[in-house]
Structure 1
Amino acid sequence: MADFSGYTWVVVLGTIVCFISAFGMGANDVANAFGTSVGANAISMRNAMVIAGIFEFAGAFLMGSSVTSTIQSKICDPMAFQEDPEMLMFGMLCVIVGVAAWLIIATMYSLPVSTTHSCIGGLVGMTIVAKGAHAVKWASVGGVVASWFVSPVLSGLITCLLFWIVRKYVLRAKDSFNRAFHFYPLLIGFTLFVLSLFMLLKGIPGLSSTLNPWLATLISLVFGGMCALILTFTVVPCLKKRIEAQRRADQEAVKAESGPVVIDVVKKEVELPVISNKPAEKPAEEKPVEKKEITVETPKEKNTMLHQNIHAELADEKSVVYQLHQRAEKFDPYTERVFSYLQVITATLNAFAHGANDVANSIGPLASIVAIYKSGAVSKSPDVEPWILVLGGAGIVVGLACLGYKVMAAIGVNMVTVTSSRGFAIEVGSAFVIVAGSQLGLPLSTTHCQVGSTVGVGLMEGKNSVNWKLVWQVFFGWVITLLVCSVTTGALFAFAVYAPSKSV
């Protein structure tokens, strides 16, 4: 085995940059997944942090280690580097640098982009510079390009259908509140069926490649049905009592604030008696009034990491976002609250599945670096070390806390009006399309499906209920993700490896 001790710096630097890359993923990719839940006020920013911290981390650490084929083997041929594994080590370092830089830049501009596509772009650029275009698996790259169109369109259509059903049979019903609870077992069962199927076939890498799709469907149906049955007789009655109590409390508060009824009184003229007809002996002296400065201090809004106001655009009545929200159809707020609990379920399970699948992919380049450093050889499917998964999970949580509000605001507030019922349709609809598409071999992206579902729900209110300027900015971000990461990584690799050098 070759001595790779001279490349320890690559491992150390790769570890540092990988944390920054995970930071960018938390700020962008994970924030995108939580955007509709926070935007609809189903969960607070603080609770989103807690859910992401626990379930993204748990998914990455418990399930991510079972990854058998990392993303680089799907885009380039690792065996092309068999004669010079140190070149692949350094190439993967360049990939991590390019991805980290792009994710943070995209987040600063509130552009939700795909972390996986960023990695793919970096791998393409590095491979072309190192080994030529023939070492790139262009069919996979073509699938990425196709996903820009296939993912949002399919996801938008399915989500439109789901929201149409919910709106017609629940939200627009005369007694929508009680109607929501009549449909609640079905909604819970369908939600858990879709999310468990998502985890079995997409979210848990160890099972997704070995479990029969029909068996996974049967398991998910039984799981969803059993959970719906149990929750119908346990949680649902308590939930209904809780919301009804809140509704009564709100009604009493409104009555208390309105106060007693004020009756207008007709004013009558009253003649005042004359005390004296003599003029005043001494006119009143004019004295200057002493001026005193009065300073009024308004309470400062909290602007910490966990108290960012992602609804700030709604304060400006002239803004496009405010007009979008004004045009949206309003439903019973207590019926909406019923759907907010479903959003908590979807956010939790999606976080676990995302941590198990996407996080492992994003830290795949560092896994390759460490594997080559230890073995001195290139492996087609290097294992992901547990400490790398911990590193990725920690970076995600910090990134979500620091910059996640930017993408959350774009997806959950500024693009369309998102309420709990709409957010439920977006999250479940996009998850369903991802599962179905992956089994049909369609190239789908989680980020793109989420955006497509969001736009689809907005279009249910009409074309003027979508912030098209923001939508086109997001689409532009998808297109240039592949290009920017490819050029950046390729340039870094070429600059370091092929720069002129002089032997002393």
Structure 2
Amino acid sequence: MKQKPVILTKKTLDKDLDKVTHVEDASKFVAKTLVSPGLGLIFLGLAALWASTYAFGQPGAVVIVIAAAIAAYMAMNIGANDVTNNVGAAVGARAITMTQALVLAAIFEILGATIGGNDVVKTISSDIVDIVAIPKAHVTWIMMASLAAAAIWVNLATWFNAPVSTTHAIVGAVIGAGLAAQGVSAVQWPVVLEITSAWVTSPLLGGLVAAALLYFIKTFILYRDDKISAAKRWIPVLIGLMGGGFTSYMILQLTSSGSLSSLTILALGVVGGIACWGISRPIVRREAAGLENRNSSLRVLFRFPLIGSAALLSFAHGANDVSNAVGPLSAIVRVTEGDHLHQHGPAQFWTLLIGALGISVGLLLFGPRLIRLVGEQITKLNPMRAYCVALSTAITVIVASWLGLPISTTHIAVGSVFGVGFFREWYTRHSKRRLDYIRRRAQEWQIDEPPNPDQYEVGRRRLVRRSHFMTIVGAWTITVPVAAVLSACLYWFMTFVFL
């Protein structure tokens, strides 16, 4: 029997090349995960450099530069954790892509923060703790510890995919550092009570407004025999109401206090609303051309108002939540410049810009994971329901920003999502209009009448995922005490080292 030839060589080259290839693939994967943190560090350095150009030659310049870097870090965490609520509904409804949503939110966040951010910044920087009664040096470290504690906690929450409230974090941190510095007397408890009451009512209000909008859409558009005609009539009206409210808010922000009467502002808002209604009518009619009389056609028609409401919500969020990063920084700048007695002075524009850019950078680098959680995993959203969520949140946040209340956009957005989900559950089981509509359609299609919805396993097929509800509520509950304790510890450490 012929023996096989003995192979005296080893195919080590191919094996070694394969190993090198695997190492390169692993390196690329690891490097990819480090790109976002690396770009974030670059932004922190640029923020510190930007602050140094304003603080150069002034007393406390080093403190201002460090505070600016921490504020930029906090702003990035806000963008990564909080701004997802603005566009999560639109992405979940597939009205816009992830990239389009990120760009849209970044632009309008910057506009909102720079145009309308001053009122809430004043509350965070000077109304929660009495900075006049506290020694100047201690105010600096109270705000520095608050910034660091809130940023660390929000960063951890983002890492664990928990959409916590950055407003809760910064308010809790300021309270904790104030208590550590001067005890109970340092905190202005009436202001804290006002803020916390807004935290309780705002998500309920957001949920109610979202449910009311969805009820209107279902009643006047969805369960009509001619859906397309109803949509062409009412969608421009909804866009006009949205545009009119935003016009009034912009006029309030861009004009000096008391320069225009309430009646004038209302009239200008009506004019803006009519203009938006007139502009949107031909657009909606053009999009409706050739569409079938089906629910899927309504999803196409609601994409345009949904994108507008997402932009409006991003603007409102920038106006309200930029204070979570800029408020403490503004207080530090005023104190180091010897102007801390002027509590209610406007925030410096360069500090607002750091907050606005930081929010946008955080959103672009770290936001997509939570966008998917809020927009896709809590309750299934189509453009109609997503529009209700975005618009109700925007309305509530705009009203709060106008009043100077640092409310939680996360609270309101998630509350609106749950409001829509719970309303759908109730409406599916109890709406006579819906049942009559289904019966008529069944007769037209000559099919058996559908069974009563109560016969289904409603508990098993609920539209809102309760597990996410409990997770989010748990994250909200612990945010204030955790941020307060962490801030107090950081304050004691900072004063021990630097004072």
Superposition TM-score, scaled by structure 1 size: 0.73
Cα distance change on mapping 1:361 and 1:222 into 2, 3 Å = farther
Q: How does 1:12-51 map to 2 (within 5 A)?
A: 12-51=65-104
Cα distance change on mapping 1:440 and 1:390 into 2, 3 Å = closer
Residue of structure 2 aligned with 1:449, choices 408, 412, 416:
412
Q: Deviations over 1:276-306 (max 9, x none)?
A: xxxxxxxxxxxxxxxxxxxxxxxxxxxxxxx
Cα distance change on mapping 1:410 and 1:221 into 2, 3 Å = same
Structure 2: distance between partners of 1:228 and 1:56:
25
Cα distance change on mapping 1:238 and 1:112 into 2, 3 Å = same
Structure 1: distance between partners of 2:400 and 2:333:
33
Which moves more between the two structures, 470-479 or 456-465?
456-465
Match of 2:275 in 1: 226
Residue of structure 1 aligned with 2:188, choices 120, 126, 137:
137
Cα distance change on mapping 1:230 and 1:5 into 2, 3 Å = closer
Name the count of aligned residue pairs: 408
Structure 1: distance between partners of 2:263 and 2:169:
32
Match of 2:329 in 1: 366
Structure 1: distance between partners of 2:335 and 2:402:
33
Q: How does 1:183-332 map to 2 (within 5 A)?
A: 183-199=234-250, 204=253, 213-232=262-281, 234-241=282-289, 244=290, 332=295
Match of 2:14 in 1: none
* Aligned-partner residue type, residue 168 of structure 1: T
Question: Displacement of 1:197 after TM fit?
Answer: 4.3
Match of 1:414 in 2: 377
| Alpha carbons 1:66, 1:206 under 8 Å: kept | no
* Aligned-partner residue type, residue 186 of structure 1: V
Give 3-state SS (helix, strand or coil) of 1:43's partner: coil
Structure 1: distance between partners of 2:298 and 2:59:
63
Structure 1: distance between partners of 2:397 and 2:112:
18
Question: Displacement of 1:123 after TM fit?
Answer: 1.0
Residue of structure 2 aligned with 1:71, choices 107, 115, 124:
124
Q: Deviations over 1:253-282 (max 9, x none)?
A: xxxxxxxxxxxxxxxxxxxxxxxxxxxxxx
Structure 1: distance between partners of 2:201 and 2:373:
22
| Alpha carbons 1:27, 1:400 under 8 Å: kept | yes
Match of 1:322 in 2: none
| Alpha carbons 2:86, 2:105 under 8 Å: kept | no
Greater fraction helix: 2
Give 3-state SS (helix, strand or coil) of 1:375's partner: coil
| Alpha carbons 1:4, 1:376 under 8 Å: kept | no
Which moves more between the two structures, 98-107 or 221-230?
221-230
Q: Deviations over 1:410-431 (max 9, x none)?
A: 2211111111000111122233
Question: Displacement of 1:396 after TM fit?
Answer: 1.2
Question: Displacement of 1:367 after TM fit?
Answer: 1.3
Match of 1:318 in 2: none
* Aligned-partner residue type, residue 300 of structure 2: R
Match of 2:173 in 1: 122
Structure 1: distance between partners of 2:404 and 2:333:
31
Cα distance change on mapping 1:500 and 1:459 into 2, 3 Å = closer
Which moves more between the two structures, 205-214 or 443-452?
205-214
Cα distance change on mapping 1:214 and 1:412 into 2, 3 Å = farther
Q: How does 1:146-165 map to 2 (within 5 A)?
A: 146-165=197-216
Q: Deviations over 1:302-335 (max 9, x none)?
A: xxxxxxxxxxxxxxxxxxxxxxxxxxxxx72221
Cα distance change on mapping 1:146 and 1:400 into 2, 3 Å = same
| Alpha carbons 2:119, 2:402 under 8 Å: kept | no
Match of 1:479 in 2: 477
Match of 1:340 in 2: 303
Match of 1:491 in 2: 489
Match of 2:318 in 1: 355
Q: Deviations over 1:4-27 (max 9, x none)?
A: 967433222211111110100111
Structure 2: distance between partners of 1:439 and 1:457:
25
Structure 2: distance between partners of 1:392 and 1:435:
18
Match of 1:182 in 2: 233
Structure 1: distance between partners of 2:306 and 2:489:
43
Give 3-state SS (helix, strand or coil) of 2:344's partner: coil
* Aligned-partner residue type, residue 143 of structure 2: M
Question: Displacement of 1:442 after TM fit?
Answer: 9.0
CA RMSD of aligned residues (A): 3.0
Q: Which has the larger radius of gyration?
A: 1
For CA contacts below 8 A with separation 6 or more, give which structure has more relative contact order. 1
Residue 98 (1) aligns with residue 61 (2): no
Structure 2: distance between partners of 1:138 and 1:206:
31
Structure 1: distance between partners of 2:220 and 2:396:
23
Structure 2: distance between partners of 1:427 and 1:141:
27
Structure 1 unaligned residues grouped into runs of 5+: 249-330
Cα distance change on mapping 1:500 and 1:46 into 2, 3 Å = closer
Question: Displacement of 1:98 after TM fit?
Answer: 0.9
| Alpha carbons 2:207, 2:418 under 8 Å: kept | yes
Give 3-state SS (helix, strand or coil) of 1:57's partner: helix
Residue 170 (1) aligns with residue 221 (2): yes
Structure 2: distance between partners of 1:499 and 1:51:
43
Give 3-state SS (helix, strand or coil) of 2:225's partner: coil
Match of 1:403 in 2: 366
Superposition TM-score, scaled by structure 2 size: 0.74
Cα distance change on mapping 1:37 and 1:392 into 2, 3 Å = same
Give 3-state SS (helix, strand or coil) of 2:163's partner: coil
* Aligned-partner residue type, residue 405 of structure 1: P
Structure 2 unaligned residues grouped into runs of 5+: 1-55, 427-461
Question: Displacement of 1:194 after TM fit?
Answer: 3.4
